[in-house]
Amino acid sequence: MEKIRDLKGEREWLEAFQVMKQLRLHLDEEEFLALVKLAEEKEEYQISVLEADHEIVCVIGYMPMITLYYGRYLWVCDLVTDSKHRSKGYGEKLLNCIEERARKKGFDGIALSSAFQRIEAHRFYEEKMGFDKVSYSFKKGF
């Protein structure tokens, strides 16, 4: 049985960490919790999960954004399916759920970025989910 659930608070966020860590390799539990808490407080960041047979198999983190380029949209910060459960449609189901939420709340769309090396993810976003490749993302650390 599959179920989509929104996570609230540190205890529930930790439930998603083992799957999220497969995408965000640089984070330990402590830093993960600190960043999620800050992002929730400052940016309305939210984590939702898809569970299959009471196991978290897919995790998405997203937040509302407003920019002159995109307008009002939901920014998908993180989307990862557990490596043991890939290619079963879980990412599609969870992303479709978030897209439907965005529509119902009057957003103009959803957007995300994806690392260059994630070729399979790009194929998924473009061919299966109907995303357009519209720009490059740039990052500068301090």
Cα–Cα dist 47/61, whole Å: 4
Q: How far apart are CA 57 and CA 117, in angstroms?
A: 22
* β-pair partners for 86: none
Query: What domains does the chain contain, in order, with CATH numbers?
Result: 2-128 (3.40.630.30)
Condensed to tens digits (0 to 9), the pLDDT of residues 14-31 reads 999 999 999 999 999 999
- Which positions ≥6 away from 56 have C-beta within 8 Å? 15, 16, 18, 19, 49, 50, 82
pLDDT at 114 over 90: no
Range 85-94 average pLDDT? 95
Residue 138 reports pLDDT greater than 90: no
Question: Can you give the pLDDT at residue 67?
Answer: 93
Mean pLDDT of 106-120: 89
* pTM (2 d.p.): 0.91
> Quick one: average pLDDT of 94-120?
92
- pLDDT per position as a tens digit, 115-127: 888 888 888 889 9
**Cα three-residue angle 129-92-8, rounded to 5 degrees:** 125
Closest CA to 118 of 137, 96, 93: 137
